[in-house]
């Protein structure tokens, strides 16, 4: 990252704080002023509580601004320094940290994981032996989505590690792309072993401090020390409500970083300047090239937004999705965690970067603003990405609603369970999935796994519908299996989970 002239930095500061900077593309009526107006309209059209965006071009911060409020119903405005969850955009930082360790000679991309972490085990002994550092970072290790291993807020990475051997493989290693948070958490653990320090400490010392990312945190536990923090929001029963921050310490290297667009602008400039800051190289050009080199093919259906972008092929590098748009290379990644959405995108050859944070769950205007920013710098006719993607995601929502209605049609009218409700009460356990507790509350059954609480409503005979109380997700069907004496011995979820009763009551 080369030195930013004082006048460019001052112009960026003025714009970030709402004052129009004079001259160039920041002048009234210029392209960045037009982008600013477009962002404000998109926030209103998508009915987002609030949003922050930063755009960098080379060494210059050309836009850093907040829109809307940190918490619905309250006046505190979002600005360029408001903290959001960056979610899975953390993965690029973990990959960069591994690259620094590669530069130091402590590890190679294709080292077997067990060379540095002998306790690592998965169900398949071959995969245990052959899994490499590169595999951890490219979502191709043979495992299905395993987020249930860590979504209990009391879970630690040690808990996750102990559960791994119980997970059956979903595909042959390196034959598919299946998104994997647990493998990124494992990569962070390997980094900790290699450097003799925690991942949190390493990421601070090796990336945040040298880049001047002084507002950035690695855990929700640090947020209470900061006054300028966005509140997560989600739609619960079609109503937008504030929800609690989700702690991700168990898989920190996969997504626990919280930052501001001001700090993330520094991160983007560092990457766009080939891993340099203040003229000092922190990561070699060869390692940086490897991070942005295709490693795995990604299904185009992974993001509905790609249906509008229409890339010929999408690949995954080391912490980045890669494709071409209008003949220009793109590297991008989203971050999605309870009530928070993020996206970071780069045009590496054009030295353009954009980061968008929204304090709402899966707020897909992030894709629209990413593409609009790219169009701003690539020139030509700019598409109304906000309007296009509003239609795309409205269609996605409609299809999901149709699926829910089709499932609802299978409910047995007036269904009531054959056993007294007290007979279903108990604790159910599984080595892979943990504990699921069923209890009675005010004459109705309630289920809980970790922080997730939901109502168990009769669906038909020994099957119940389990719907979370504080989240908009499709209901899960749970079938109670009876033993020879008529007691409930097992719970079978229609997503494949099973729990055995720990003790007959």
Per-residue pLDDT tens digits for 419-462? 999 999 999 999 998 899 999 999 999 999 888 899 999 999 89
The pTM score is 0.91
267-313 per-position pLDDT tens digit: 999 999 999 999 899 999 999 999 999 999 999 999 999 999 999 99
Place of tokens 């879970």: 155
pLDDT value, residue 355: 98
CA 367 remoteness from chain centre: 14
Spatial distance between the Cα atoms of 408 and 412, rounded to a whole number of angstroms: 9
pLDDT tens for residues 113-126?
Answer: 999 999 999 999 99
Mean pLDDT score, 178-202 = 97
What is the pLDDT at residue 26?
52
Average pLDDT estimate for 122-147: 97
pLDDT of residue 2: 35
Taking Cα atoms as reference points, which of 98, 97, 117 lies closest to residue 108? Answer: 98
Query: Residues of the chain with pLDDT > 90: what percent?
Result: 79
Alpha carbon 135 to its chain's center: 19
> For 322, left (φ over 0), alpha (ψ -120 to 50), or beta?
beta
d(CA 9, CA 16): 10
pLDDT number for residue 473 = 60
Q: State the average pLDDT over residues 218-243.
A: 90
- Position 70 scores a pLDDT of 98
The whole-number pLDDT of residue 196 equals 97
Q: What's the whole-number mean pLDDT along residues 102-122?
A: 98
State the pLDDT confidence band at 24, using cuts at 50, 70 and 90.
Answer: very low
pLDDT digits (tens, 9 = 90+) for 460-492: 989 999 988 876 566 899 999 999 988 999 999
- Give the model's pLDDT for residue 152: 72
Q: What is the pLDDT of residue 235?
A: 86
| Confidence label for 14 from pLDDT (cuts 50, 70 and 90) | very low
Q: How does pLDDT run across 334-343, given as a tens digit for each residue?
A: 999 999 999 9
Q: By CB neighbour count within 10 A (0-12 exposed, 13-18 middle, 19+ buried), where does 501 fall?
A: buried
User: Which of 22-31, 87-96, 154-163, 318-327 shows the lowest mean pLDDT across its residues?
Assistant: 22-31
Tell me the average pLDDT across 235-256. Answer: 91
Q: Which domains does the chain have, with CATH numbers?
A: 6-102+182-400 (3.40.710.10), 421-501 (2.40.128.600)
φ, ψ for residue 336 (rounded to 5)? -135, 120
CA neighbours closer than 13 Å in the CB half-sphere of residue 207: 31
Which residue in this structure is represented by tokens 């990421």? 203
Predicted confidence band at 226 (pLDDT cuts at 50, 70, 90)? confident
The answer to whether 376 touches 32, Cβ cutoff 8 Å, is yes
């Amino acid at each position: 990252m080369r030195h930013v002239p004082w006048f460019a930095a001052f112009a960026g500061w003025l714009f970030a704080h709402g004052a129009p900077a004079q001259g160039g593309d920041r002048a009234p009526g210029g392209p960045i002023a037009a982008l600013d107006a477009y962002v404000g309209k998109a926030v209103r059209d998508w009915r987002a509580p609030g949003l922050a965006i930063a755009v960098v071009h080379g060494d210059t911060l050309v836009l850093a601004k907040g829109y809307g409020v940190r918490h619905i119903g309250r006046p505190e405005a979002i600005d360029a320094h408001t903290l959001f969850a960056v979610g899975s955009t953390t993965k690029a930082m973990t990959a960069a940290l591994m690259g620094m360790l590669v530069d130091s000679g402590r590890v190679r991309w294709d080292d077997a994981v067990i060379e540095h972490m002998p306790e690592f085990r998965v169900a398949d002994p071959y995969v245990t032996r052959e899994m490499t550092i590169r595999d951890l970072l490219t979502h191709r290790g043979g495992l299905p989505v395993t987020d249930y291993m860590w979504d209990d807020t009391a879970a630690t990475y040690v808990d996750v590690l102990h559960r791994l051997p119980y997970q059956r493989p979903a595909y042959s290693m390196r034959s598919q792309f299946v998104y994997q948070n647990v493998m990124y958490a494992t990569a962070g653990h390997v980094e900790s072993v290699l450097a003799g320090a925690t991942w949190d400490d390493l990421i601070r010392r090796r990336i945040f401090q040298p880049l001047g990312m002084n507002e950035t945190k690695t855990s929700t536990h640090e947020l209470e020390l900061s006054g300028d923090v966005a509140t997560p929001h989600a739609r619960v029963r079609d109503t937008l409500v504030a929800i609690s921050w989700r702690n991700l310490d168990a898989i920190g290297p996969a997504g626990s970083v919280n930052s501001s667009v001001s700090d993330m602008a520094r991160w983007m400039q560092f990457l766009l300047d080939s891993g340099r800051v203040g003229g000092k190289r922190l990561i070699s050009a060869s390692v940086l090239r490897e991070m942005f080199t295709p490693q795995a093919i990604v299904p185009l259906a992974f993001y509905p937004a790609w249906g509008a972008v229409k890339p010929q092929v999408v690949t995954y590098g080391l912490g980045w999705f890669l494709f071409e748009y209008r003949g220009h290379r793109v590297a991008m990644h989203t971050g999605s965690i309870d009530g928070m959405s993020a996206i970071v995108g780069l045009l590496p050859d054009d030295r353009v970067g954009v980061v968008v944070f929204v304090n709402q769950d899966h707020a897909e205007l992030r894709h629209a603003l990413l593409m609009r920013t790219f169009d701003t710098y690539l020139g030509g006719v700019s598409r109304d990405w906000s309007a296009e993607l509003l239609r795309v995601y409205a269609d996605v929502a409609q299809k999901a609603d149709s699926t829910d209605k089709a499932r609802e049609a299978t409910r047995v009218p007036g269904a009531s369970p054959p056993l007294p409700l007290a007979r279903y009460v108990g604790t159910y356990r599984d080595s892979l999935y943990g504990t699921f507790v069923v209890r009675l509350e005010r004459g109705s059954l309630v289920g809980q796994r970790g922080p997730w609480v939901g109502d168990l409503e009769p669906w038909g005979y020994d099957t119940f519908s389990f719907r979370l109380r504080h989240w908009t997700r499709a209901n899960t069907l749970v079938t109670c299996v009876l033993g020879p004496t008529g007691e409930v011995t097992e719970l079978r979820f229609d997503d494949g989970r099973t729990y055995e009763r720990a003790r007959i009551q």
